[in-house]
Structure 1
């Protein structure tokens, strides 16, 4: 099963492709989609949509997993992340891809075993679980890989996505 994890944002959207074969997890690709701060929001959202669509078409993942929006004290930031999530969900729907969503707490629990884990702890566990030589960079890409790992662990335990290609 190939899992596309996405950490949404309007300035930087992280992505990570993780393949699950039994209990073995392998990172296929990861990185970020960056948009220009001076561009109109509509153009930035289109860039995110286009790049996510291209990733889906290139890799043909079985599922797209995205971080759920959590309460943010900065309303402007929360709205921007919500808009980025919207175009990511739209790209998955247009491509006929199953979507799963997890909160940051669920991701930390699945990857580290502790919901209040620090970012460095999550990154180190991502490195260990995927057998990477170095910590995945930048942070947004590491977060996207963690989101994909969360799905892999949940799918393994709960038998989710029974009708998938994997």
Structure 2
């Protein structure tokens, strides 16, 4: 049985998306890219661009499930709030389409794809390329979204299989 998974790496300027198929234990690349917003546009227009762009991706590729990266607090609280709003727009697009949504931290995603939670972006890009047999490295935002989808597909290994409610991550481990 095939499952099509949409991974999302939310961002206010660039929201990455990646679509993969899982058939048994094999993964296949379907599509990836980015929804880009206009830096000069106001917040409402940027949120609409994210919502509309992801709605188009969903309509085109018809995923069965979705995986979304969880955003944590950054050094700048204002940036964190803006990123959270972009994540909310992505979540609204997924839920509005009736998709079941799984959420993963960056640590969980990196651990599932690279093997350790402190992997660099280049390592994630390289492993996504290898795991999906791509001819070249995807863009960083698309690679993060594909990695999110891969993490969800590998739900039986590592953190992806565990419900994380009520747990904390410490030193790369759930406690």
The verdict on a shared fold, with TM-score over 0.5 as the criterion, is: yes
Corresponding residue number in structure 2 for 1:141: 142
Distance 1:156 1:18 in 2: 18
Displacement of 1:131 after TM fit? Answer: 0.4
Q: Would you identify which runs of 4 or more consecutive aligned residues in structure 1 move more than 2 Å?
A: 155-160
Displacement of 1:117 after TM fit? Answer: 1.2
Q: Which runs of 5+ in 1 are unaligned?
A: 161-166
- Return closer, same or farther for 1:159/1:19 CA change in 2, 3 Å cut-off: farther
Distance 1:141 1:85 in 2: 15
1:59 aligned to which of 49, 58, 61: 61
1:37 matches 2:9: no
Corresponding residue number in structure 2 for 1:110: 112
RCO higher in 1 or 2 (8 Å CA, sep ≥ 6)?
A: 1
Distance 1:33 1:88 in 2: 11
Corresponding residue number in structure 2 for 1:20: 22
The TM-score normalised by the length of structure 1 is 0.91
May I ask how many residue pairs the two structures share in their alignment?
Answer: 159
Distance 1:93 1:64 in 2: 9
Distance 1:131 1:73 in 2: 36
Distance 2:27 2:149 in 1: 10
Displacement of 1:132 after TM fit? Answer: 0.6
Q: Which runs of 5+ in 2 are unaligned?
A: 164-175
